[in-house]
Structure 1
Amino acid sequence: MSAETLEIVKTEYQAGKSAFEGGHYRQSVQHLEKASALVDRNSRLGGEIQIWLVTAYEAAGQRNEALSLCKQLDRHPSIETRKQSRRLLYILEAPQLNRRPEWLTEIPDLGAIGDNETKSRLGNPASSVKSPPPPRPQTEPVDLGQVNTKDNLFIWVALIAAVLTLGGLLWLSF
């Protein structure tokens, strides 16, 4: 693989990871597919890219592609890739749990809101007034003259009990 191709692979791979982490799963799939097509699939980097591609497929709703690629990676030359593919396959093949509608929270799509609407809803940041922080409760200083600093002999009682217990166990073991 030439240096140019390797640089393109790394760029597409990083773009795919960034898109995935940003929640843009379809873009992530596109970048990772490009990187996977240019790299040797049996290399360590190729396996790493394909593992990310499995995750991106699943996140993008392409479950069949994720499952088939994950099953192919079970025969990958890299041990680490095989381990990760087995873990992912275990997760992908797990039965789906039934979820009650009251357990779920609907998240509204904010992509349709224009910039002007967003600014008017959020208000003008220049005109917003910050409220002062709430006052901290006052604590009184502790008078060390009233603190009980007398030795209560607990540590000595615990040490003597431990020594007696160990001595008794040693004596009984012979």
Structure 2
Amino acid sequence: MHTSPHENSWPVWATEPIVVVDHDPSWAAQAMEEIHFLQPLLSPFGNSGIWHIGSTAVQGLCAKPVLDLVAPIASLNSASVITRILSPYHWHYVPYELDQRPWRRFYIKVQQNKRIAHLHLVLPGEARWHEQLRFRDILQDNAYVRQAYAALKSMLAEEYRHDLDAYAAAKSDFIRKTLKDY
């Protein structure tokens, strides 16, 4: 996150340092639990499935211990209603003005003052959704790419420990090149 005059008033989980840990085999089961819980809540909004993406979805890959889930919905304008539904379950909406990614609506699940999951709501045809799935699959299927990405993530987590936006941006060249080459 960018430094802001409001940063001191942000919750602890909004500015927690980036920590990359070894793969946890329980992440897949945790993701399925979240998916099974979220599916009936999101189905009235045109959702037909929820996918586990990101590094926690790749067996053997180190990751920030935060599950990433993506779910297509019929309209991003449903975010205010979805926020009211998800908020009692510790999901926090990040306004798209803060998120700066107008192609999605973004939620963070928090437990004990730590992020435990991200939910990316997208439109069904959103190219980034398909790219996220394809990148996950490339990492799963290619040990060389997986190892190179793990080394990059570990290095960047040290360099950008307190800047999640810079960490994510620094990974984007590797992701783009991988999607182009594979």
More strand by share: 2
Which band: TM-score by shorter chain? under 0.3
Larger Rg computed on CA atoms:
1
Q: TM-score, normalised by structure 2?
A: 0.24
User: Which fold has the larger relative contact order, with Cα–Cα distance below 8 Å and residues 6 or more apart in sequence?
Assistant: 2
